């Protein structure tokens, strides 16, 4: 479970200061799915970075299962990221010179797993996103939707408890968008993940049981009955 209290993030650009997060309080339960919307520059990606321990807040606490990521020493934070948190971004961020399987395997390297086990787990993860046959393709040999599937397999291969997705369908056309959303939703249910997703897609937001809107660094959460 996540518990955020009074989280602020101030970026400095020369003399100018930007309050990307201006005091965010938020609880996200285990297995919850939270959709985040809001205008560009509102602080959505910044919040996701705090949840993922990719960056630290200027003030406030970001507890994940009672451990404050904001004050955790760097080595322990790296370990939490490697073991417990999967990321999917708008740009797929695959390594162009590695095959689909090798890209997925990169997530297992920090866990100190044997090469043979890594291979097997990566192949399994690719099969679970429907890409079992495309294991040895390079990213350039895959469509956008397929590249995002590889990125999703890479995020989930370590069996994290949390999946964070920042506009995962932002670079895809409509049909691929629906496919990827269905896949993510299926994986969320299947694995009991805590799933936080930023999206500009209002059709997705309308269906979300829990919707957060971030504007000028401030968050508002709307709860709705599950549909
Ligand atoms: N590394 C940085 N240095 C300086 N300012 C930053 C940095 N990252 C973000 N900002 C600023 O913080 C604010 C929030 O940015 P953020 O990326 O979180 O917005 P966002 O809601 O994700 O927007 P978008 O929908 O465009 O992705 C913006 O004003 C942005 O310019
Ligand atoms: Mg963003």
Q: Running DSSP on this structure, what letter comes out for residue 78? A: H
pTM: 0.94
| For residue 75, pLDDT beyond 80 | yes
Domains of the chain in start order, with CATH, are 2-223 (3.40.50.300)
The yes-or-no verdict on residue 226 having pLDDT over 70 is: no
pLDDT tens, residue by residue, 125-141: 999 999 999 999 999 99
Does residue 210 surpass a pLDDT of 60? yes
Give me the pLDDT at residue 224, please: 79
**Distance between Cα 160 and ligand 2 center (Å):** 22
* Ligand 1 binding pocket includes 16 (Cβ within 6 Å): no
User: What is the pLDDT at residue 85?
Assistant: 97
Q: Write down the pLDDT at residue 73.
A: 97
Report the pLDDT averaged over residues 155-177: 93
Which residue, among 164, 172, 200, 223, has the nearest Cα to 46 in the 3D structure? 164
pLDDT of residue 206: 82
Bridge partners for 205 per DSSP: none
Q: Which of 104-113, 175-184, 214-223 has the lowest mean pLDDT?
A: 175-184
- Structure tokens belonging to residue 165: 């997705």
Q: Is the CB of 45 under 6 A from ligand 1?
A: yes
Average pLDDT of the residues of the chain = 94
Longest dimension (CA), the chain: 53
Structure confidence at residue 13 (pLDDT): 85
- Statement: residue 227 has pLDDT above 60: no
Tracing tokens 């291979």 back to the chain, one arrives at 119
pLDDT of residue 203: 80
Task: Give the distance (Å) from ligand 1 centre to CA of residue 210.
Answer: 23
Mean pLDDT confidence for 56-76: 97
Task: Express each pLDDT in 167-207 by its tens digit.
Answer: 999 999 888 898 999 999 999 999 999 999 999 888 888 88
Torsion of CA 122, 137, 79, 193, to 10 degrees: -60
**What does the pLDDT read at residue 104?**
98
Over its C-alpha atoms, the chain yields an Rg (Å, rounded) of: 17
Atom 2 of ligand 1, nearest CA residue: 11
Is the Cβ atom of 46 under 6 angstroms away from ligand 1? yes
Q: Summarize pLDDT for 9-19 with one digit per residue, the tens.
A: 999 988 899 99
pLDDT at 225: 66
Cβ-contact 88, 164 below 8 angstroms: yes
Summarize the confidence of residues 71-82 as an average pLDDT.
96
- What is the CA(45)–ligand 2 centre distance, in A? 4
Question: So what's the pLDDT on residue 54?
Answer: 96
Q: Tell me the CA–centroid distance for residue 141 and ligand 1, in Å.
A: 32
pLDDT at residue 217 is higher than 90: yes
Residue 169 CA to residue 174 CA, distance in Å, equals 9
């Amino acid at each position: 479970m996540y518990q955020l209290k009074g989280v602020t993030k101030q970026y400095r650009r020369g003399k100018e200061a930007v309050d990307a997060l201006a005091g965010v309080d938020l609880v996200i339960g285990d297995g919850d799915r939270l959709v985040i919307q809001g205008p560009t520059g509102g602080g959505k990606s910044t919040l996701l970075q705090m949840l993922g321990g990719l960056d630290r807040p200027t003030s406030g606490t970001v507890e994940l299962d009672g451990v404050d990521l904001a004050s955790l020493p760097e080595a322990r934070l790296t370990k939490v990221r490697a073991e417990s948190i999967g990321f999917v971004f708008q740009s797929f961020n695959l390594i162009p010179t590695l095959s689909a399987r090798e890209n997925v395997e990169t997530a297992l390297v920090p866990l100190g797993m044997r090469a043979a086990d890594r291979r097997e787990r990566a192949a399994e993860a690719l099969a679970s996103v429907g890409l079992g046959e495309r294991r040895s393709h390079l990213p350039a040999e895959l469509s956008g939707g397929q590249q995002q599937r590889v990125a999703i397999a890479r995020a989930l291969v370590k069996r994290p408890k949390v999946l964070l997705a920042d506009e995962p369908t932002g670079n895809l056309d409509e049909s691929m968008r629906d496919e990827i959303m269905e896949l993510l939703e299926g994986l969320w249910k299947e694995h009991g993940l805590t799933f936080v997703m930023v999206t500009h897609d209002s059709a997705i937001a309308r269906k979300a049981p829990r919707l957060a809107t971030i504007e000028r660094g401030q968050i508002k959460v709307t709860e709705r009955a599950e549909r």
